[in-house]
Amino acid sequence: MALWRAYQRALTAHPWKVQVLTAGSLMGLGDVISQQLVERRGLQAHKTGRTLTMVSLGCGFVGPVVGGWYKVLDRLIPGTTKVDALKKMLLDQGGFAPCFLGCFLSLVGTLNGLSAQDNWAKLQQDYPDALITNYYLWPAVQLANFYVVPLHYRLAVVQCVAVIWNSYLSWKAHRL
């Protein structure tokens, strides 16, 4: 409980920094889970650079973009009724998620040193499956998130659920 209260105080004092650092930390945790539990690399074969890349993506891309998106979405569709939450989820999953996922996968490919041609081929291979998998998880999560969770906690809630999603994305993005 003390850790949660400290997090709340930090979030109140420095909302943007805390949201970005939370996203980066949980992206890194997702990669560690991917490498250790999904891929079963073991500590000796763990790719620390890959984990640091995912942390950097969380801090430099996911946190700012998703955090900013939630602010824009709340301005576009103010309110917290069930209908408002449904509208937000539909806009999030119908518009934002497909674009964000494509950008994320392309960015990982670029950071992994893929040529433009190889990155495009990998995106064509991975994107459809990743988007379909997205739709199994995120609409329900986002509906609850938009209906129940205050704006300043939404990124943290999503990133906690996203630890599993990030494990999947890290595995998908780094699979050759």
What Å distances lie between residue 72 and 66, 88, 90, 151, 176, CA to CA?
10, 10, 14, 11, 36
Report which of residues 21 and 176 the model is more confident about: 21
* pTM for the whole structure: 0.85
What is the residue-wise DSSP string for 145-160?
HHHHS-HHHHHHHHHH
The 8-class DSSP code of residue 39 comes to: S
What is the per-residue pLDDT across 87-108, written as a single tens digit (0 to 9) for each?
999 999 999 999 999 999 999 9
Structure tokens at 59: 């801090």
